[in-house]
Structures are given as C-alpha cells and as structure tokens.
Amino acid sequence: MDHCCNWECYKKLRTENIPIQPRTITKLKIVFFDMDGVLADINGSWRQIHQHYHTDNNTNVENYLKGQLTDEEFIQSDINQWRNTNGDLPTQNDIKNIYKNAPLMKGSKTLMTHLKENSITTAIVSAGVDILAKQIQTQLNIDICYANALNTDKNNNLAGTGTVNVPLCHKDKPIQKILKELNIQPHQAISIGNSCFDLPMFYAVGIGIAFNPSDSCIINEADHTVPTKNLEDLIPLIDSYLQDNQP
C-alpha cells in the first residue's frame, strides 16, 4: 500500500472547501461504490486498456492534475493513444474483449445479495470506463451505474472522444444528482471507495468507508477503514447501520 498521496491527489486540483455532510446514518437506503479496486479487483479500468495497447497515460494524469486538461480533454488524450499504426482506433467490442475476464472483488456477490435482501439500493459511481462498469452492474445486479463513456461512430469504432458522467475530482456531483432523483437524504447513504479521489463521495453522504485503501489520504478522512480485499468484511459494519431500519 502507498501510505501517502503524492502527485496523484485530487486536492492538488480541487482546492475549494467541499461541504461535508454530518457524519451519521439514519434509515440507510443506498450504498454507493467506486469501481476500480473496490468492485473490480484491478488497478484501474483505464490502465487495463493502456496495458493492453502498451501505452502510458502518466503524462496525461500529470497535466490533468496541474489543471492543464479538462476531464473531456483528459479522456480524449487517453483514447487517442490507442490508435494502431494505420491511425485507427479500436472498436467498442475490442474494449469489451479486454474487460471480459476482469475479476470481481472477492465477496462482491455476497455483499450485493445481502444489500438486496435488506432492500438497499446499490450504485456504481466511477470515473472509470462505463463498458466495464456496465459489465459489473449486470454481473452483480446493481441498480444504478454512473461512469465515463467512450463515444463511438456509426460503425461502433471509438470516435476519439468521451462523455464525462463522473468528473474525476468531483464525484460528489453524480451522487448529489442520484440522491435528488431518488428523494434520498445524505444521512441515508453510505459511500465506499479506495483512494483520495473518492473523498468527495464520502463528503456527500452520511458515512464514508475506505475499503482496500491505496493511500493514507482516504484512511485519514474515512469514517471507517476496512483494509482487506474481501467485500464480505463490510457486512458487519453495514449491518450496524441497518439496525435503525428494523420495524
């Protein structure tokens, strides 16, 4: 584990104070999950594609965190590294094939079943690639999925651009949108993430849980930390907040 946030930290770009909801849960109704390193046992959905095509996006990350790229430009710069020697981009099916064997995090199916049995809505909120997010949504029967899209042309080839549904440093925004649409209050929601980029998810709800944490930034600000790679280990903690749901 990397015990500190170095250059990959959202706080270096988003410096304004983010409103933090009171740290409490009453009548839990929804649990939000980050994807990479939480639901998927991978280092990153973007990184999976870069590894497949032997490309590197470290420069893009640096430029983004310096404020030199918008989220849209960041995604576009990544995608256009995947062109072949003829200048062609992969198809959507090519990307799906890269992800087809992406491993789920241990215990994910058990946890989702447990949440369903307790009538808890589940949601993915990820700045990762929506192709993998939708695959995991289907595999785990998750209710809601927000992630970033790879735009395609009429022939299903990548178009070289993306649609930003979850800004990397503003993951609180889609959570606020979902809560409003479902008429759920922040104190009825839990967020689960593994890196400093997930802290805005924590601030937007009543409780934030650092699962499989990758840096000390999220450990220091999480309400709870579960340092394992087994999502079943979250069940006793979530159950402690479900007690108030009993009739």
Buried b (16+ CB within 10 A) or exposed e, 77-111: bbbebbeeeeeebbebebbeebbeebebbebbeeb
10 Å CB burial of residue 227 (0-12, 13-18, 19+) is exposed
How far apart CA 9 and CA 55 sit, in angstroms, is 22
Give the Cα-Cα-Cα angle 118, 212, 139 (nearest 5 degrees): 50
Mean pLDDT, rounded, for 214-224 = 90
The full length of the chain comes to: 247
3-state DSSP assignment of residue 67? coil
Specify the pLDDT at position 217. Answer: 86
pLDDT tens by residue, 70-124: 999 999 999 999 988 888 899 999 999 999 999 999 999 999 999 999 999 999 9
What's the 3-state SS for 162-210? EECCCCCCCCHHHHHHHHHHHCCCHHHEEEEECCHHHHHHHHCCCEEEE
CA distances from 49 to 33, 156, 239 (A): 22, 17, 37
Specify the pLDDT at position 13. Answer: 66
- In what helix (H) or strand (E) does residue 82 lie, and over which residues does it extend? none
How far apart CA 113 and CA 117 sit, in angstroms, is 6
Q: Taking 50 as the threshold, does the pLDDT of residue 138 lie above it?
A: yes
Evaluate whether 140 touches 105 at the Cβ level (below 8 Å): no
Residue 216 — very low, low, confident or very high, per pLDDT cuts 50/70/90? confident
Report helix angle 71-79 to 45-53, nearest 10: 30
Which residues make Cβ contacts (< 8 Å) with residue 226, sequence separation at least 6?
Answer: 209, 210, 211, 212, 233, 234, 237
Residue 8 — very low, low, confident or very high, per pLDDT cuts 50/70/90? low
Specify the pLDDT at position 3. Answer: 45
The label of the residue with tokens 């650092």 reads: 210
Specify the pLDDT at position 180. Answer: 97
Specify the pLDDT at position 2. Answer: 41
Q: Where are the beta strands (DSSP E) in the chain?
A: 30-33, 121-129, 144-152, 158-163, 189-193, 207-211, 224-226
Specify the pLDDT at position 18. Answer: 78
3-state DSSP assignment of residue 112? helix
